Homo-oligomer: A and B are copies of this chain.
Amino acid sequence: MYGWANQLFPLCRSITGEGTRKTLRYLQQLMPSMTIHEVPSGTPAFDWEVPDEWNVHQAWIKGPSGQKIIDLDDHNLHVLGYSAPVDRVVGLEELQDHLYSLPERPEAIPYVTSYYERRWGFCISHRRRQQLEPGPYRVYIDSTLAPGSLSYGELILPGRQREEVLLSTYICHPSMANNELSGPVVTTALARWLSSLSDRRLTYRIIFVPESIGSIVYLSRHLQRMKQRTIAGFVVTCVGDESCYSYLASRRADTLADRVIRHVLEHQCEEYERYSFLERGSDERQYCSVGVDLPVALLMRSKFGEYPEYHTSDDDLSLISPAGLDGSYCALKKCLHLLEHNRIYRTTVRCEPQLGKRGLYPTLSTRDGALKQRDVRLMRDLLAYADGRRDLIALADEFGVDAATCIARANTLVQEGLLEVLDEPR
């Protein structure tokens, strides 16, 4: 995953354009079943429409002595996202109106965009900005803003059942690592693992979209089906560093996605940060919006907006690590694993069944026996609590145990005919 991120880092991504398309093609090599879709500029999507496509080829400022002060070739963040083309000579005063920098983080280039208002501009470290001489300056941006298309990737992995799990990540951020190359590479790894499974109960809808406009466009095309089928979904973002895990709740805060994330994090780590939907910021804004109401929550490392390098050139490849990516991958994989096995069980016999005659219970009443105490206890608890109303994760939460440890025990009891699997709570 870290290697993929390294290769994708230099591409100049935005919500449309060639950099994004190249990113998708790179990922398609890793997931050959993924399809790439193009949605023409001007296509309406709820309250929005697909904007013109933006591509930038060169962007630089030359100082009074003719040397380049900043250059897109040095860092993709140097150009204002969706900047209009420009080729002029300006004085320092006019230039200042088109520069963006961060006084509170003077060495970093900020990440700034102007998708829906035509502007030209450059992003620069505040330290460099303060050294600027009076001028004149030649400002040059060779960009195009013209009808084209918005690109996204989609991978549907069918399962035995039509119930779907959504994985959504975004591919519009240029040259930043935690936010956002970690999401695409972890999602790709999850997609490859899911593809490799010989048997899937659930269907997986995995999408790589530009943030906001991409998820809005995607929802505008698939809302009905997604509302009918989605049982849980995850926006995969900010999953690359080694900081404390975070959970950001869905609006309703009690969906299956919320429950599985909390369950996994409670059994995976000592503590984790909890954020309410009031602190939302990525595509959960669309998935959980009123009338869309998908059960989507987030498992992250350092949450967007909460770490100092956020949306600057300091969010680089040194901020993320193989271990950071792998921890998030494992946690999300466990979420998906639990969802695959998260069934509603009901005990088939009245009173406790006689486990002893099935070899599932020690025949002596003392505390030691051939079977592990813990397993016997878990089977007895499953039988005692499987009332056909709550799913496996809810039962494990009640027992205070990791749901993963319940799966094999529940399967044994199903095989013995002591538990039945229900499709719906009764």
Measuring CB to CB, which residues of chain A are less than 8 angstroms from any residue of chain B?
Answer: 45-48, 81, 100, 110-117, 119, 212, 215-216, 219-220, 223, 251, 277-278, 280, 285-286, 288-292, 346-347, 349-354, 356-357, 363-366, 381, 383-388, 398-400
CB-based contact A384/B277 at 8 Å: yes
Min distance, Cβ A284 to any Cβ of chain B, angstroms: 10
14 CB-based A-B contacts, threshold 8 Å: A46-B349, A100-B366, A112-B364, A112-B365, A112-B366, A212-B352, A220-B350, A285-B352, A288-B384, A289-B350, A289-B351, A290-B346, A290-B350, A290-B386
Which B residues lie within 8 Å of A291 (CB)?
Answer: 347, 349-350
- Give the distance in Å from the alpha carbon of A357 to the alpha carbon of B346 in the complex: 53
Which B residues lie within 8 Å of A81 (CB)?
Answer: 365
Which B residues lie within 8 Å of A352 (CB)?
Answer: 47, 212, 216, 285-286, 289
Which B residues lie within 8 Å of A220 (CB)?
Answer: 350-351
Which residue, of A114, A277, A351, has the highest number of chain B Cβ atoms within 10 A?
Answer: A351
- Give the distance in Å from the alpha carbon of A363 to the alpha carbon of B80 in the complex: 12
- Give the distance in Å from the alpha carbon of A364 to the alpha carbon of B80 in the complex: 10
Min distance, Cβ A362 to any Cβ of chain B, angstroms: 9
Min distance, Cβ A202 to any Cβ of chain B, angstroms: 25
- Give the distance in Å from the alpha carbon of A285 to the alpha carbon of B219 in the complex: 49
What would 18 more interface pairs be, CB under 8 Å, given A47-B349, A48-B351, A100-B366? A47-B352, A47-B353, A48-B354, A110-B366, A112-B365, A112-B366, A116-B354, A119-B363, A119-B364, A219-B351, A220-B350, A285-B352, A289-B384, A290-B347, A290-B387, A290-B388, A291-B350, A292-B350
- Give the distance in Å from the alpha carbon of A116 to the alpha carbon of B357 in the complex: 8
Within the complex, which residue of B45, B251, B350, B351 is in contact with A384, where a contact is CB–CB below 8 Å? B251
Which B residues lie within 8 Å of A351 (CB)?
Answer: 45-48, 215-216, 219-220, 286, 289, 292
CB-based contact A350/B223 at 8 Å: yes
Contact A117/B280 with A289-B347, A290-B347, A350-B223 known, Cβ cut-off 8 Å = no
Min distance, Cβ A371 to any Cβ of chain B, angstroms: 13
Which B residues lie within 8 Å of A116 (CB)?
Answer: 354, 356-357, 363
Contact A365/B114 with A48-B354, A289-B350 known, Cβ cut-off 8 Å = yes
CB-based contact B251/A363 at 8 Å: no
Contact A354/B289 with A100-B366, A381-B278 known, Cβ cut-off 8 Å = no
- Give the distance in Å from the alpha carbon of A115 to the alpha carbon of B282 in the complex: 61
Closest to A285 in B: B352
Which B residues lie within 8 Å of A350 (CB)?
Answer: 46, 219-220, 223, 289-292
- Give the distance in Å from the alpha carbon of A277 to the alpha carbon of B349 in the complex: 19
Min distance, Cβ A147 to any Cβ of chain B, angstroms: 18
Min distance, Cβ A207 to any Cβ of chain B, angstroms: 15
Closest to A418 in B: B47
Within the complex, which residue of B117, B219, B277, B399 is in contact with A278, where a contact is CB–CB below 8 Å? B399
Min distance, Cβ A163 to any Cβ of chain B, angstroms: 22
CB-based contact A384/B110 at 8 Å: no
Min distance, Cβ A18 to any Cβ of chain B, angstroms: 21
- Give the distance in Å from the alpha carbon of A109 to the alpha carbon of B175 in the complex: 73
Which B residues lie within 8 Å of A388 (CB)?
Answer: 290
Contact A47/B384 with A116-B363, A399-B278 known, Cβ cut-off 8 Å = no
Which B residues lie within 8 Å of A251 (CB)?
Answer: 384-385
Which residue, of A366, A387, A400, has the highest number of chain B Cβ atoms within 10 A?
Answer: A366
CB-based contact A113/B384 at 8 Å: no
- Give the distance in Å from the alpha carbon of A114 to the alpha carbon of B220 in the complex: 66
Which residue, of A220, A278, A290, A365, has the highest number of chain B Cβ atoms within 10 A?
Answer: A290
Min distance, Cβ A361 to any Cβ of chain B, angstroms: 9
Within the complex, which residue of B46, B114, B223 is in contact with A363, where a contact is CB–CB below 8 Å? B114
